[in-house]
Structure 1
Amino acid sequence: MKLECISIKGSGNTNEDAYVISQTGQVYAVIDGVSSLVPYENRAGQTGGAIAAELVKRQLEAMPHDAVLPDYLARVNEQLREQMREGGVDLAKKEALWGAACAVVRLKDNCLEYAQSGDCMIFAVYEDDAVRPLTYPQVRLLEQQALASWEAGIREGLSTRVELRERCMEILIHNRYQANEPGGYGVLNGDPACADFVEYGRVNRAGVKALVLATDGLFMPAAFGGDEPGWEETALPIFRKGLQRYADELIALENSDPECIRYPRFKKSDDKTGIVLFLR
Structure 2
Amino acid sequence: MGKGGSIMKLECISMKGSGKSNEDAYVIQQVKHVYAVIDGITSLIPYENAAGQTGGAIAAELVKKQLEAIPEDAVLHDYMEMINEALREQMRQSGIDLEKKEALWGAACAVVRVKDAQIEYAQLGDCMIFAVYDDDMVRPLTHTQVSHLEQVALAKWEEGINEGFCTRTELYERCMGILIHNRYQANGPGGYGVLNGDVACRDFIEYGRINRVGVKALVLATDGLFMPRALGGAQPEWEETVLPIVHKGLQRYTDELISLENYDPECIHYIRFKKSDDKTGMILYLH
Give yes or no for TM over 0.5. Answer: yes
2:163 paired residue number: 156
Quick one: which amino acid aligns to residue 179 of structure 1? A
Q: Within 5 A, what are the aligned runs for 1:225-236? A: 225-236=232-243
Per-residue CA deviations over 1:182-207 (Å, capped at 9, x if unaligned) read 11100000100001100000001000
Quick one: which amino acid aligns to residue 72 of structure 2? H
Alignment of 1:23 onto 2:30: yes
Shift, 1:17, TM fit: 0.3
Quick one: which amino acid aligns to residue 119 of structure 2? L
Q: Within 5 A, what are the aligned runs for 1:108-127? A: 108-127=115-134
CA RMSD of aligned residues (A): 0.6
Shift, 1:85, TM fit: 1.2
CA distance in 2, matches of 1:44, 1:242: 34
Match of 1:251 among 255, 258, 268: 258
Match of 1:65 among 64, 72, 78: 72
Q: Within 5 A, what are the aligned runs for 1:59-98? A: 59-98=66-105
Partner SS for 2:188 = coil
Alignment of 1:132 onto 2:139: yes
Partner SS for 1:6 = strand
2:48 paired residue number: 41
1:14 paired residue number: 21
CA distance in 2, matches of 1:38, 1:263: 28
CA distance in 2, matches of 1:81, 1:148: 34
Partner SS for 2:131 = strand
CA distance in 2, matches of 1:163, 1:39: 21
Shift, 1:155, TM fit: 1.4
Shift, 1:102, TM fit: 0.5
Match of 2:221 among 214, 218, 221: 214
Partner SS for 1:4 = strand
TM-score by length of 2: 0.97
Partner SS for 1:38 = coil
CA distance in 2, matches of 1:166, 1:94: 21
Partner SS for 2:219 = strand
CA distance in 1, matches of 2:210, 2:204: 19
CA distance in 2, matches of 1:111, 1:279: 11
Quick one: which amino acid aligns to residue 63 of structure 1? I
TM-score by length of 1: 0.99
- Which 5+ residue runs of structure 2 have no aligned equivalent? 1-7
CA distance in 1, matches of 2:265, 2:101: 29
CA distance in 1, matches of 2:174, 2:43: 19
**Which range moves more in the overlay, 1-10 or 80-89?**
80-89
- Which 5+ residue runs of structure 1 have no aligned equivalent? none
Shift, 1:43, TM fit: 0.4
Partner SS for 2:230 = coil
Partner SS for 1:123 = strand
CA distance in 2, matches of 1:10, 1:245: 16
Shift, 1:39, TM fit: 1.0
Alignment of 1:178 onto 2:185: yes
Aligned length: 280
Quick one: which amino acid aligns to residue 225 of structure 1? G
User: What percentage of aligned pairs have identical amino acids?
Assistant: 76
Partner SS for 2:197 = coil
Alignment of 1:106 onto 2:108: no
1:272 paired residue number: 279
Match of 2:39 among 32, 37, 61: 32
Q: What stretches of structure 1 move > 3 A for 4+ residues in a row?
A: none
